[in-house]
C-alpha cells in the first residue's frame, strides 16, 4: 500500500478577488486560488477518502463546485436548508428561513432479504442529533451511513469580525468534552500572533488542565463501554470517578468544564491536595481495571468487535484513540516538551472495542503521571495589546484526538475561523468498524470511539 501524507484539513476562504482553498497535510500546506465567477475545485477524494466531507462542506459554505468527486450530496445543507452559502461575505442574514424540501438519498445495499433500519436523528436521553442509516441482512450489518450537522450553529460566521481575545467564550463551548483543548488551540494562536513569551510554567499549567480533561473523558468512556455490553455496574463506578475528577478540575481551574481557564495566569496550587487526589484516583482505576479484565463475558463482547485494522486506519487518516488502538502512532503530544514531563505514546494493535478500552486505561495512568510533573509555581503574564495580521494554525491533542484550528487575522480582527474537530475525521471511518458485526453491537462500537456531534456541527 502506498503511504500518502496524512490529510488533516481542507477548507476555503473568500478573498476580495477570489476564493482560496487551503489543504493541510502532515508534511505540507497547499493553497489553490479559485475563480469567483466560475468557482470549480478538483476533488482529491480518489486519493483521500475523507476529503469527501471537507469538499461537500466547502460547497455548502461557499458554493464552490466540486468536480471528479464520487459524492456531491449536501453535507450541512439539510432537506429544507435554503439555497444560500452562509460563509460568503455577502451573506448578512441573522436567521435562516426554511427552503424547498429536497430529499436526501442515502447509500443503501439492495438485495433479497435486505432491509433498512433508521436510528435517529432524535435519540433518547441527552444525545445530540445524528442519523444512522443501516442496511441489514437479519441482525448482520451490511452497511452504515451516518448523517450529522443537524444543529447548524453558525460558529464560523459568528466569529468573523471579532477580536481574538473576545472569541474565547464562543470557541471554548464548541464541544463540551473538549473545552480546554479548544481554549488551548486558541491560546497557541494568540501566542503566535503576539509577542508574549509562552513561559514553561504557564504551558505546564495549560497541559495539566488538558490532561485532567482527558482523564474525565476517558473515565466516562471506560464506564459506558461495559454498560453498552450490559454491565451497568461499571458505569456506576466509573461515573463516580469521572464526577470526582470534574470536581477536582473545578478546584484547579474554577469551573467544572474548565471554561475560562486557559489564559495568562495560573491558579495557586495546593500540591498536597493534588497528590492525594491523584494517588486515590490511580488506586481506584487500578482496582477497576482488575475487576473488568477478569469478566470473561465482557471480553467476549469486546474482542474482535468493531475492528478497524491499521491499513484502513491509515487510509482514512483517523486520529486519537481510534488511531492508536489500531497501531497508528499519531499523537500531537509526541514532542520534546511532553516527553520531558513523562509522556509515553500509548498503543494497541488490534483496533477493536477491547483495544480502545485498554488504551484509555493506559492513557489515564500516563496522564496522572504527567499531571504530577506539570505542577509548578504560580505565574502571571501580561495580556498582549496587539496582534499581527496573518494566517495561524494550531494543533492540540484533545481527549478525542488531534484538534486543528485555523485563524486568519485581518485589520486586527478575525477574517476567517475554521476548526476541524477530530470527530470530523473519525466519524467518516465509523462504518468500517461495523462490517460483519450485528446491529445490537452498534451502541458498543460507537461508544468505544466516543465521538463528538457538536465538534463537527459548527
Sorted by where each starts, the structural domains of the chain and their CATH numbers stand as: 1-105 (no CATH), 163-449 (1.10.645.10)
Quickly tell me which residue has 464506564 as its cell.
Answer: 223
Which neighbouring-strand residues pair with 94?
none
Q: Which tens digits make up the pLDDT trace of 364-385?
A: 999 999 999 999 988 888 899 8
Q: What are 255-269's pLDDT values in tens digits?
A: 999 999 999 988 888
Compute, in degrees rounded to 10, the torsion defined by CA atoms 303, 308, 310, 315. Answer: 180
The backbone torsions φ and ψ at residue 348, rounded to the nearest 5 degrees and listed phi first, read: -125, 175
- Residue 222 has a pLDDT of 98
The predicted structure's pLDDT at residue 2: 56
| Residue 395 Cα distances to 152, 197, 402, angstroms | 24, 19, 7
Share of the chain above pLDDT 90, in %: 89
Whether 316 contacts 411, CB under 8 Å: no
What contacts 102, CB < 8 A, 6 or more positions away?
Answer: 74, 79, 80
| pLDDT at position 410 over 80 | yes
CA-based nearest residue to 212, from 175, 170, 178, 172:
178
What SS3 class is residue 376? coil
* Burial class of residue 25 in the structure, from the number of CB atoms within 10 Å of its CB (0-12 exposed, 13-18 middle, 19+ buried): middle
User: Residues 357, 303: contact at Cβ < 8 Å?
Assistant: no
Ranking 76-85, 350-359, 375-384, 418-427 by mean pLDDT, the lowest is 375-384
pLDDT band at 306 (very low <50, low <70, confident <90, very high): very high
List the Cα angle 323/406/246 in 5-degree steps. 60
DSSP letter string over 171-203?
Answer: HTTSSGGGHHHHHHHHHHHHHHHS-----HHHH
The residue-averaged pLDDT of 25-41 equals: 96
Flag whether pLDDT at 309 surpasses 70.
yes
Report d(CA 75, CA 15) in Å as an integer. 23
Helix residue ranges, H only, 228-329: 232-253, 271-293, 296-302, 310-316, 320-324
C-alpha closest to that of 413 among 167, 189, 197: 167
Residues linked to residue 416 through DSSP beta bridges, in sequence order: 408
Q: For position 436, what pLDDT does the model report?
A: 85
Provide CB contacts within 8 A for 270, sequence distance 6+: 251
Using one digit for the tens of pLDDT, what is the confidence trace for 118-156?
Answer: 998 988 777 889 999 999 999 999 999 999 999 889 999
Give the three cell numbers for residue 212. 485532567
- Does residue 1 register a pLDDT over 60? no
Task: Enter the C-alpha cell of residue 19.
Answer: 476564493
| Largest separation between any pair of C-alpha atoms in the chain | 69
* CA-based torsion, 157, 331, 206, 281: positive or negative: positive
Q: From its phi and psi, is residue 319 left (phi > 0), alpha (psi between -120 and 50) or beta?
A: beta
Instruction: Encode 47-97 in three state secondary structure.
Output: CCCCHHHHHHHHHHHHCCEEECCCCCCCCCCCCCCCCCCCCCCCCCCCCCC
The position carrying cell 453558525 is 154
pLDDT for position 138: 95
Sheet of 29-35: strands edge to edge? 7-14, 18-25, 29-35
pLDDT digits (tens, 9 = 90+) for 180-225: 999 999 999 999 999 898 999 999 999 999 999 999 999 999 999 9
Amino acid at each position: 500500500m502506498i503511504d500518502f501524507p496524512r490529510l488533516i484539513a481542507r477548507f476555503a476562504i473568500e478573498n476580495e478577488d477570489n476564493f482560496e482553498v487551503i489543504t493541510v497535510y502532515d508534511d505540507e500546506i497547499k493553497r489553490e486560488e479559485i475563480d469567483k465567477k466560475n468557482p470549480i475545485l478538483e476533488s482529491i477524494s480518489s486519493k483521500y477518502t475523507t476529503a469527501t466531507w471537507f469538499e461537500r462542506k466547502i460547497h455548502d459554505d461557499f458554493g464552490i463546485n466540486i468536480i471528479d468527486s464520487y459524492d456531491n450530496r449536501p453535507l450541512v445543507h439539510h432537506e429544507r436548508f435554503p439555497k444560500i452559502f452562509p460563509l460568503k461575505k455577502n451573506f448578512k442574514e441573522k436567521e435562516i428561513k426554511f427552503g424547498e424540501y429536497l430529499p436526501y438519498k442515502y447509500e443503501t445495499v439492495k438485495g433479497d432479504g435486505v432491509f433498512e433500519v433508521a436510528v435517529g436523528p432524535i435519540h433518547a436521553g441527552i444525545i445530540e442529533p445524528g442519523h444512522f442509516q443501516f442496511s441489514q441482512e437479519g441482525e448482520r450489518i451490511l452497511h452504515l451511513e451516518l448523517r450529522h450537522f443537524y444543529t447548524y450553529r453558525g460558529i464560523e460566521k459568528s466569529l468573523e469580525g471579532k477580536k481574538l481575545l473576545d472569541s474565547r467564550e464562543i470557541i471554548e463551548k464548541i464541544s463540551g468534552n473538549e473545552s480546554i483543548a479548544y481554549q488551548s488551540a486558541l491560546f497557541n494562536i494568540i501566542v503566535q500572533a503576539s509577542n508574549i513569551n509562552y513561559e514553561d510554567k504557564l504551558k505546564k499549567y495549560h497541559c495539566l488542565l488538558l490532561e485532567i480533561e482527558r482523564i474525565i473523558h476517558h473515565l466516562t468512556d471506560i464506564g459506558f463501554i461495559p454498560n453498552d455490553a450490559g454491565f451497568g455496574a461499571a458505569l456506576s463506578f466509573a461515573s463516580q470517578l469521572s464526577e470526582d475528577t470534574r470536581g477536582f478540575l473545578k478546584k484547579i481551574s474554577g469551573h467544572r468544564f474548565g471554561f475560562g481557564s486557559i489564559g495568562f495566569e495560573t491558579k495557586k496550587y495546593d500540591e498536597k491536595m493534588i497528590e492525594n487526589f491523584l494517588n486515590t484516583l490511580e488506586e481506584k482505576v487500578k482496582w477497576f481495571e482488575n475487576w473488568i479484565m477478569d469478566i470473561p463475558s465482557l471480553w467476549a463482547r469486546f474482542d474482535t468487535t468493531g475492528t478497524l485494522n491499521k491499513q484502513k486506519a491509515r487510509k482514512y487518516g483517523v486520529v486519537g484513540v481510534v488511531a492508536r488502538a489500531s497501531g497508528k502512532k499519531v499523537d500531537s503530544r509526541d514532542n520534546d516538551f511532553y516527553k520531558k514531563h513523562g509522556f509515553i505514546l500509548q498503543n494497541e494493535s488490534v483496533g477493536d472495542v477491547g483495544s480502545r478500552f485498554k488504551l484509555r486505561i493506559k492513557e489515564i495512568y500516563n496522564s496522572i503521571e504527567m499531571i504530577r510533573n506539570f505542577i509548578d509555581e504560580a505565574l502571571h503574564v501580561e495580556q498582549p495589546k496587539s496582534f499581527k495580521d496573518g494566517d495561524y494554525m494550531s494543533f492540540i491533542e484533545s481527549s478525542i484526538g488531534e484538534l486543528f484550528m485555523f485563524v486568519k487575522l485581518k485589520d486586527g480582527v478575525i477574517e476567517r475561523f475554521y476548526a476541524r474537530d477530530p470527530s470530523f475525521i473519525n466519524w467518516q471511518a465509523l462504518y468500517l468498524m461495523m462490517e460483519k458485526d450485528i446491529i445490537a453491537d452498534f451502541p458498543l462500537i460507537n461508544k468505544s470511539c466516543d465521538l463528538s456531534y457538536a465538534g463537527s456541527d459548527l
